[in-house]
Amino acid sequence: MAGKGKKKHPKGKPKKRRAKPLREETREQAAGEEVRPKEELEPAPLSEPLPGETEAIELEGPVDGSVGAEAEPPEEEGEEWGRRLRRGMSRSRRAITMPFTRAAARKAITPEFWTEAEDALIAADAGVACSARIVENAKKRIISEGIRDIEGLKDAFRREVVAMLESFGEPPEPPPERPRVIFIAGVNGVGKTTTAAKIGFLLKEKGNKILFAAADTFRAAGIEQMEMWASRVVAPVVSHQAGGDPAAVVYDSIESAKAKSIDTVLVDTAGRLHTKKNLMEELGKMWRVADRQLPGRPEAILVIDATTGQNGVSQARIFGEVLDVSSIALTKMDGSAKGGVVMAIGMELGIPVAYIGVGEGISDLKPFDPEQYATALF
């Protein structure tokens, strides 16, 4: 332990590192990637050369590299849960904090900082267009506010992520009519059944009377899995036989909900690839059955697994053609994936994130908080 010590002053290192980024810089410029900055940077009232130009902006404050890696964001309420979210996301947080630690090592914001920041967001699955937009906006903010320290840089990026997430709107409020019916839909293996159970648990804690509809009649043992979860949540479940018509399960569960004055029916649907036309038609039929039976409109939550890549956008678009997808539940945030695709989805389709899940326990799903997500991200 003593032998290793803490590398507080990696002297000499910055020099060595510098050689490589410089090469990258010339290549990037030769490739003509840096076309935008000029006009964008003109209005910024700075005396020094501007970021994105050939020279760098010097940084102030602590710049020994440890800042980027260690800085703990301020704790808020729900501290324990927030810590777990961050722990999950910090598994490979190095990739996303790398631009900041490098900038700290260089003691300057150099042109490659912006490229690295964009790469970091792409690595978080935010997608090319969305990453570019966040970097662009953060850049404007950093320049106009004259930000010169690592924490300030990070904070600028956090604020951009929050701004982007908030621009997708809020998840819908519960309608006045009863019962409220929420479809839980998504592709195979994203965790629909567990998410249905966990949302049920959350609503039940809030005093809602809930009922599960085991409408995954296709997957071997899909019904059993829903029944097991329902008994953990201690809520009734309506199920038919395996292979039965899922629309009939929806019908029966709504009838049952009306009879028992249930507040919310959670419909656990079978996982299906959005490209399977007949399976999507089946989902559409279930939706129409519910729509006809209800005084109000049913809702749908699309479950997106945090490891999902840009295909998530396609999933959201096509599920959205069949159901009214009003929000997203982002699951499996306890791995090393960042779930950045929800930003790409939101940017294209304007669907907000309602829930975020960080584990297998019944209380590991929580309402989504953009601030908390952004803090955990950077």
Partner 1 sequence: MFDSLSDRLQGVFAKLRGQGKLTEKDVDAAMREIRMVLLEADVNYKVVKQFVEHVKERAVGEGVTKSVTPAQQVVKIVYDEMVDILGGTQQALKFASHPPSVIMLVGLQGSGKTTAAAKLAVMLRRQGRDPMLVAADIYRPAAVEQLQTLGGQIDVPVAYYRHKSAVAIVEEALREATRTGRDVVILDTAGRLHIDEDMMQELVDIKSSVPPGESLLVVDAMTGQDAVNVALAFLDKVDFDGIILTKMDGDARGGAALSMKSVTGKPIKLASVGEKVNDLEVFHPDRVASRILGMGDIVTLVEKAEDTMTEERARKLEEKLRKHRFDFDDFLEQMEQLRSMGGLSKVLEMVPGMGNVAGTYGLDLDDRRMKRIEAIIQSMTREERQNPHVLNASRRRRVAAGSGTSTQDVNQLVKQFAQMQKLLKQFSGKGGEMGMMKRLFPF
Q: Which residues in 145-168 are b (16+ Cβ under 10 Å) and which e?
A: eebbebebbbbbbbebbbebbeeb
Site for partner 1 in 25-44 (CB under 8 A): 30-33
Site for partner 1 in 112-171 (CB under 8 A): 119, 122-125, 127-128
CB count in 10 Å sphere of residue 182: 25
Q: How long a stretch of residues is the chain?
A: 378
- When asked if residue 75 is in the footprint of partner 1 (CB under 8 A), the reply is no
Q: Which is nearer to partner 1, 2 or 220 (CB)?
A: 220
Strand partners, 184: 268, 301
- When asked if residue 19 is in the footprint of partner 1 (CB under 8 A), the reply is no
Q: Which is nearer to partner 1, 261 or 278 (CB)?
A: 278
Contact region with partner 1 (CB under 8 A), list: 106-114, 152-160, 202-210, 276-284:
276-284
Q: Which is nearer to partner 1, 203 or 303 (CB)?
A: 303
- When asked if residue 21 is in the footprint of partner 1 (CB under 8 A), the reply is no
Strands 365-367 and 353-357: antiparallel
In the list 112, 299, 305, 369, the residue contacting partner 1 (rule: CB under 8 A) is: 305
Q: What is the dihedral of CA 97, 98, 99, 102, to 10 degrees?
A: 130
In the list 171, 222, 246, 346, the residue contacting partner 1 (rule: CB under 8 A) is: 222
Q: Which residues contact 99 (CB under 8 A, 6 or more apart)?
A: 113, 116, 117, 119, 120
Task: Give the shortest CB-354-to-partner 1 separation in angstroms.
Answer: 20
Residue 97 CB-half CA count within 13 A: 25
**Helix H segments across 31-146?**
37-41, 66-70, 79-90, 93-106, 111-123, 128-144
Q: Which is nearer to partner 1, 68 or 312 (CB)?
A: 312
Binding mask 309-348 for partner 1 (x = CB under 8 A): xxxx-xx----------------x-xxxxx-xx-------
- When asked if residue 239 is in the footprint of partner 1 (CB under 8 A), the reply is no
The size of the interface with partner 1 (CB under 8 A), counted in residues, is: 51
Q: Which residues contact 139 (CB under 8 A, 6 or more apart)?
A: 37, 40, 51, 52, 114
Residue identified by tokens 């994936």 is 337
- When asked if residue 308 is in the footprint of partner 1 (CB under 8 A), the reply is yes
Q: Burial level of 195, CB count in 10 A (0-12/13-18/19+)?
A: buried
Tokens of 367: 């309402």
Site for partner 1 in 175-214 (CB under 8 A): 187-191
- When asked if residue 102 is in the footprint of partner 1 (CB under 8 A), the reply is no
Contact region with partner 1 (CB under 8 A), list: 13-21, 155-163, 175-183, 302-310:
302-310
- How far is 286 from 246, CA to CA, in rounded Å? 7
Q: Which is nearer to partner 1, 155 or 305 (CB)?
A: 305
Which residues bind to partner 1, rule: CB under 8 A? 30-33, 91-92, 119, 122-125, 127-128, 187-191, 219-222, 224-225, 228-229, 242, 273-278, 305-312, 314-315, 332, 334-338, 340-341
